[in-house]
């Protein structure tokens, strides 16, 4: 077909592609396909145009074959046959004066012939397609539009098109002098990859990690999802009778149910702190139950990781200040709703250094939140078993346009730090927040199930843009 078209255009421009298709005895669409390909290579020019005309509907076709209803009514009156009951045709016949009523004294109205029609005008109009508007309002015709192209010679017009090569192969390289290569298309978007998308939660995690590393924080190892109550609670000076240690709040592990090992001397110092106190504290003054401390659980917070790291830090002498962070999964036996699941991710940061104050904590928190776009902060006194003082952090969220709780923080208690062996003037400031909440706000996700778990929409994962905080 390509050859046919080029030969045809060599003679002269094609005024109407649809006519040309008939001439060349090919399908119009097929012809246009080839023309378009030739146009892309500059062999031809294309100019879109359209033409429309009226084409009879099935009813119009019937009239063309059998005459119009009004003509049929005229014929029935003329021939004395039964007058068809067709209101439309009857009205038309009356209007044209082909039939009329006469009323003689004392008799009923009678339908008689009027003027004799020269022709069946409707049928004629249809044949000639002249009375367009009437035919359309009577639904006797519809408008048909044909798009066609005017085709001429393009800048690269030639009688033969050599197929340009797109792929480089050993064969094409061997014949590189004669082979014509396709031009590079630097604007092409390329193929969309179908896999390897980063989950929105992980995009935010990556960004948080970058921010914290930029602030000089080192990432803690968070691979212990199963923890002992000792590291999750006791090391944090959380009383063994604390309600959070209840099975209603914590998932305990059945198998293996007990932790066998921990640093014996440190364990003893923790027990002593709980039972008797120390470092200026009177302790909880209740018996410390070894069985309670050994219970395995799914960690309820990453502060268990912080406790392990601080213990390690205390063992390296002399003490060196440190900044640690972690972002990983924690588990709580809570009732689930649109914003809570029983597992989520915690972002946790801590700084251990000499003589840190609450002011240092506040400024560290300010710096961190400013980096994710939250600059207006309020601090509210709160209680945590392992920090004193403790503060809930509220932020004015520019996206939500309201004050909202965005984290929890505090200075770790001496009862927690002293048994680890940290020098008494070393203070540890720390804060934590969930990863889910800022992610949901950032990506406008209102139900946590849409973000995390088996109901999360993979298409959202594919479509979510990169996470960039201001």
Residues lying near ligand PHE in the complex (CB under 6 A): 301, 303, 348, 384, 387, 408-410, 430-432
Cβ distance 325 to 219 under 8 Å? Answer: yes
CA gap 340, 348 in Å, rounded: 19
Nearest residue (CB) to ligand PHE, 68 versus 302:
302
Could you tell me which of 259, 230, 262 has the C-alpha nearest to residue 245?
Answer: 230
Nearest residue (CB) to ligand PHE, 131 versus 392:
392
Nearest residue (CB) to ligand PHE, 408 versus 439:
408
Cβ distance 446 to 399 under 8 Å? Answer: no
Q: What is the DSSP string of 71-117?
A: HHHHHHHHHT-PPP--HHHHHHHHHTTSEEEEE-TTS-EEEEE-SPP
CB of 431 to ligand PHE, least distance (A): 6
Nearest residue (CB) to ligand PHE, 151 versus 411:
411
Cβ distance 205 to 346 under 8 Å? Answer: no
CB of 303 to ligand PHE, least distance (A): 4
CB of 222 to ligand PHE, least distance (A): 13
Could you tell me which of 248, 234, 354, 378 has the C-alpha nearest to residue 294?
Answer: 234
Cβ distance 249 to 335 under 8 Å? Answer: no
Nearest residue (CB) to ligand PHE, 60 versus 349:
349
CB of 416 to ligand PHE, least distance (A): 10
CB of 400 to ligand PHE, least distance (A): 21
Nearest residue (CB) to ligand PHE, 250 versus 408:
408
Nearest residue (CB) to ligand PHE, 28 versus 413:
413
Query: Would you state the torsion angle of the CA atoms of residues 268, 274, 276, 278, taken in this order, to the nearest 10 degrees?
Result: 80
CB of 233 to ligand PHE, least distance (A): 11
Nearest residue (CB) to ligand PHE, 387 versus 439:
387
Nearest residue (CB) to ligand PHE, 148 versus 231:
231
- Residue for token pair 């396709």: 182
Could you tell me which of 418, 410, 370 has the C-alpha nearest to residue 388?
Answer: 410
CB of 462 to ligand PHE, least distance (A): 32
Two tokens, residue 259: 């932790």
CB of 301 to ligand PHE, least distance (A): 4
Cβ distance 219 to 326 under 8 Å? Answer: yes
CB of 361 to ligand PHE, least distance (A): 9
CB of 196 to ligand PHE, least distance (A): 33
CB of 256 to ligand PHE, least distance (A): 25
- Residue for token pair 């392992």: 386
CA gap 30, 162 in Å, rounded: 20
Output the residue with the shortest Cβ distance to ligand PHE: 432
Nearest residue (CB) to ligand PHE, 364 versus 408:
408
CA gap 199, 439 in Å, rounded: 11
Provide long-range contacts, Cβ within 8 A and 24+ apart, for 56-60: 56/126, 56/135, 56/140, 56/141, 57/139, 57/140, 57/141, 57/142, 59/139, 59/140, 60/126, 60/135, 60/140, 60/141
CA gap 339, 400 in Å, rounded: 15
Q: Using alpha carbons, list the distances in angstroms from residue 267 to 88, 225, 274.
A: 103, 21, 11
Task: Name the DSSP class of 243.
Answer: G
Nearest residue (CB) to ligand PHE, 364 versus 464:
364
């Amino acid at each position: 077909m390509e050859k046919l078209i080029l030969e045809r255009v060599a003679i002269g421009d094609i005024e109407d592609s649809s006519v040309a298709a008939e001439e060349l005895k090919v399908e119009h669409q097929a012809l246009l396909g080839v023309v378009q390909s030739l146009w892309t290579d500059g062999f031809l020019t294309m100019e879109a145009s359209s033409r429309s005309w009226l084409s009879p509907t099935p009813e119009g076709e019937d009239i063309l074959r059998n005459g119009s209803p009004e003509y049929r009514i005229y014929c029935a009156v003329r021939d004395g046959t039964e007058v068809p009951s067709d209101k439309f045709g009857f009205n038309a016949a009356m209007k044209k004066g082909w039939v009329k009523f006469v009323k003689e004294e004392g008799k009923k109205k009678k339908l008689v012939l009027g003027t004799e029609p020269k022709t069946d005008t409707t049928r004629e109009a249809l044949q000639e397609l002249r009375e367009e508007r009437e035919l359309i309002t009577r639904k006797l015709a519809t408008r048909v539009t044909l798009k066609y192209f005017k085709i001429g010679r393009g800048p690269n017009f030639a009688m033969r098109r050599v197929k340009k090569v797109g792929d480089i192969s050993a064969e094409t390289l061997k014949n590189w002098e004669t082979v014509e290569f396709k031009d590079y298309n630097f604007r092409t978007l390329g193929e969309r990859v179908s896999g390897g998308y980063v989950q929105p939660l992980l995009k935010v995690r990556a960004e948080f990690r970058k921010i914290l590393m930029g602030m000089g924080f080192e990432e803690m190892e968070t691979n212990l999802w199963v923890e002992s109550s000792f590291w999750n609670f006791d090391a944090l000076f959380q009383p063994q009778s604390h309600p959070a240690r209840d099975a209603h709040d914590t998932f305990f592990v059945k198998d293996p149910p007990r932790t066998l090992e921990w640093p014996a001397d440190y364990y003893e110092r923790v027990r002593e702190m709980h039972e008797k106190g120390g470092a200026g504290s009177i302790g909880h003054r209740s018996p410390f139950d070894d069985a309670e401390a050994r219970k395995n659980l799914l960690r309820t917070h990453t502060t268990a990781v912080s406790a392990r790291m601080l213990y390690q830090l205390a063992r390296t002498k002399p003490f060196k200040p440190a900044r640690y962070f972690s972002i990983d999964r924690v588990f709580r036996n809570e009732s689930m709703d649109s914003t809570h699941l029983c597992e989520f991710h915690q972002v946790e940061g801590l700084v251990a250094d000499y003589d840190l104050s609450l002011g240092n904590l506040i400024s560290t928190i300010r710096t961190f939140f400013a980096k994710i776009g939250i600059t207006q902060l309020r601090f509210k006194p709160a209680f945590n078993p392992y920090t004193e003082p403790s503060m809930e952090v509220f932020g004015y969220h520019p996206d939500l346009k309201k004050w909202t709780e965005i984290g929890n923080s505090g200075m770790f208690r001496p009862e927690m730090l002293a048994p680890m062996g940290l020098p008494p003037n070393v203070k540890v400031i720390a804060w934590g927040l969930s990863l889910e909440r800022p992610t949901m706000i950032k990506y406008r996700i209102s139900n946590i199930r849409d973000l995390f778990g088996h109901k999360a929409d993979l298409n959202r994962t594919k479509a979510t843009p990169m996470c960039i905080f201001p």
